């Protein structure tokens, strides 16, 4: 009996030693020589593998950093400037500083502001619905509300608000990876420069219809009246295809455009309340949930 035991131990140990030698030999023989800086950079990256940089993952981005050997076209939106500085340190290069960004949804067509004109009954996917037709409401440009953006967000920064039927961005969690921008078939998301105290002013609309048609389909649509363009002291607002756009690089958060917008299409967020009551935006949303349209 003990002989059997000894044999077993000896044979198994022998197999183990032989296998170890083979493994060692193979790992030496076929070792791939890699730039050690790739590993270092990967270490410095946030390992979110979100693809926000345009590469397949953090490893691919690290390889690209080493291969390019200059950082002007490379930026990790998740790690931000700190992370890029670290990478620049590893590579001995100069990092390009970029202003941090945050995603905003350019549609405020909530259930009660934008009446339904038909009822969709198909696969709950924005891409599928938009391939079929323009949407459940009269507005062909607005949010469809099936949450393709929520599905692609790796950072739990997007959530559907069942009351408004619109997704909401969590500024704290959003890293501006841009996944939602690509996922939205209506191109509603924009990555805007992060302002102090997370303040935002933007046109929450993408409707390119003429004024009357836009207004008919949605109460808070941009009707292309150009009042904001005239009002803006910093030339930050442009008008194209009956739609205003505020350039976040030029905007100084003066809020004058918000005051003149006749439909409330321009939204301000995280500002202290004004002394004069001009909060047109808050009114409709506080009108309470609409129960008639949802059935």
Partner 1 sequence: MNKLLTVSPSPHVKGDESIRKIMYGVVLAMLPAFAMSAMFFGWESVKVTLIAVAASVFFEYVIQKYLMKVKPTVDDGSAIVTGILLAFNVPVGLPVWLIVLGALVAIGVGKMSFGGLGQNPFNPALVGRVFLLISFPVQMTTWAPNKLVADGFSGATPLGLLKEGLKSGKTISEITSQLPNHFDLFWGNMSGSLGEISAVALLLGGLYMLWKKIISWHTPVAVLGTIFIFEGILWLANPERFMDPMFHLFTGGAMLGAIFMATDMVSSPMTRVGQLIFGVGIGIITVLIRNFGAYPEGISFAILIMNAFTPLINAYVKPTRFGRVA
Partner 2 sequence: MLKTFKMGGVHPVENKLSAGKAIEKLPLPKTVSIPVAQHIGAPATVVVKRGDEVKVGTIIAQSSGFVSTNIHSSVSGKVKKIDDVMDSSGYKKKAVIIDVAGDEWEQGIDTSNNLIKETHLDAKEINAKILAAGIVGLGGATFPTHVKLSPPPGMTAEVLLINGVECEPYLTSDHRLMLEKGAEIIVGTKLLMKSLGVNKAVIGIENNKPDAITRMKDLTANEPEISVQPLKVKYPQGGEKQLIKAVTGKEVPSGALPIAVGAVVNNVGTAFAVYEAVMKNKPLVERVVTVTGKSVKEPSNLMVRVGTPVTELVEAAGGMPEDTGKVISGGPMMGRAVTTLEVPVTKGTSGILLIRDKESKRNEMEPCIRCGKCVSVCPMGLEPFLLMTMSEKKLWERSEDRHVMDCIECGSCSFTCPSNRPLLDYIRLGKGTVGKLIRARKSQN
Q: Which of 233, 243, 117 is nearest to 188 (CA)?
A: 243
- Site for partner 1 contains 132 (CB under 8 A): yes
Q: Smallest distance, Å, CB 136 to partner 1? A: 8
> Out of 7, 24, 133, 234, which residue is the one contacting partner 1 (CB under 8 A)?
133
- Site for partner 1 contains 121 (CB under 8 A): yes
Q: Site mask, partner 2, residues 197-236, x = CB under 8 A?
A: ------------x---x-----------------------
- Site for partner 2 contains 132 (CB under 8 A): yes
Cβ 243 vs Cβ 207: under 8 Å? yes
d(CA 198, CA 34): 42
d(CA 159, CA 105): 12
- Site for partner 2 contains 140 (CB under 8 A): yes
> What backbone torsions phi and psi does residue 70 show, to the nearest 5 degrees?
-160, 150
> Out of 123, 168, 274, 289, which residue is the one contacting partner 2 (CB under 8 A)?
123
Q: Smallest distance, Å, CB 123 to partner 1? A: 7
Residues β-bridged to residue 105: 189
d(CA 4, CA 233): 93
- Site for partner 2 contains 125 (CB under 8 A): yes
**Partner in contact with 125, chosen from partner 1, partner 2, none, beta carbon below 5 to 8 Å by kind:** partner 2
| Binding region for partner 1 (CB under 8 A) out of 21-29, 110-118, 236-244, 254-262 | 110-118
- Site for partner 1 contains 118 (CB under 8 A): yes
Q: What are the b/e assignments for 218-227, b being 16+ CB within 10 Å?
A: bbbbbbbbeb
* Pair of tokens at residue 87: 């990478």
Nearer to partner 2, 31 or 131 (CB): 131
Helix (H) or strand (E) holding 201: strand 200-203
| Residue whose structure tokens are 């009246």 | 225
d(CA 181, CA 196): 23
Nearer to partner 1, 95 or 143 (CB): 143
> Out of 89, 122, 162, 262, which residue is the one contacting partner 1 (CB under 8 A)?
122
20: helix, strand or coil: helix
**Partner in contact with 116, chosen from partner 1, partner 2, none, beta carbon below 5 to 8 Å by kind:** partner 1
* Pair of tokens at residue 108: 């405020």
- Site for partner 2 contains 131 (CB under 8 A): yes
* Pair of tokens at residue 292: 């008639």
d(CA 167, CA 94): 38
**Partner in contact with 81, chosen from partner 1, partner 2, none, beta carbon below 5 to 8 Å by kind:** none
> Out of 7, 25, 133, 234, which residue is the one contacting partner 2 (CB under 8 A)?
133
Rule CB under 8 A: which residues touch partner 2? 117-118, 121-123, 125, 127-128, 131-134, 140, 209, 213
Rule CB under 8 A: which residues touch partner 1? 116-123, 128, 132-133, 136
């Amino acid at each position: 009996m003990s002989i059997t035991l000894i044999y077993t131990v000896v044979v198994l140990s022998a197999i183990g030693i032989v296998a170890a030698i083979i493994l060692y030999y193979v790992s030496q023989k076929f070792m791939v020589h890699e730039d050690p800086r790739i590993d270092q950079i990967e270490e410095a990256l946030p390992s979110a593998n979100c693809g926000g940089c345009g590469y397949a993952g953090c490893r691919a981005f690290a390889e690209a950093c080493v291969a390019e050997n200059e950082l002007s076209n490379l930026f990790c939106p998740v790690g931000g400037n700190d992370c890029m500085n670290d990478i620049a340190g590893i590579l001995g290069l100069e990092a390009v500083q970029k202003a941090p960004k945050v995603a905003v949804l350019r549609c405020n067509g909530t259930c009660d502001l934008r009446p339904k004109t038909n009822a969709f009954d198909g696969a709950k996917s924005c891409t599928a619905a938009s391939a079929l037709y323009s949407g459940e409401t009269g507005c062909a440009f607005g949010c469809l509300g099936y949450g393709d953006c929520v599905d692609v967000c790796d950072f739990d920064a997007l959530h559907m608000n069942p009351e408004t039927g619109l997704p909401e961005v969590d500024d704290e969690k959003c890293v501006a990876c841009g996944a939602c921008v690509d996922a939205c078939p209506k191109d509603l998301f924009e990555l805007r420069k992060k302002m102090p105290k997370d303040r935002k002013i933007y046109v929450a609309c993408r409707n390119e219809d003429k004024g009357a048609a836009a207004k008919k389909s949605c109460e808070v649509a941009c009707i292309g009246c150009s009042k904001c363009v005239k009002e803006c002291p910093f030339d930050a607002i442009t008008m194209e295809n009956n739609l205003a756009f505020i350039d976040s690089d030029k905007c100084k958060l003066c809020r004058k455009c918000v005051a003149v917008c006749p439909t409330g299409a321009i939204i301000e967020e995280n500002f202290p309340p004004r002394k004069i009551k001009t909060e047109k935006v808050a009114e409709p949303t506080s009108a309470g949930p609409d129960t008639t349209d949802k059935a």
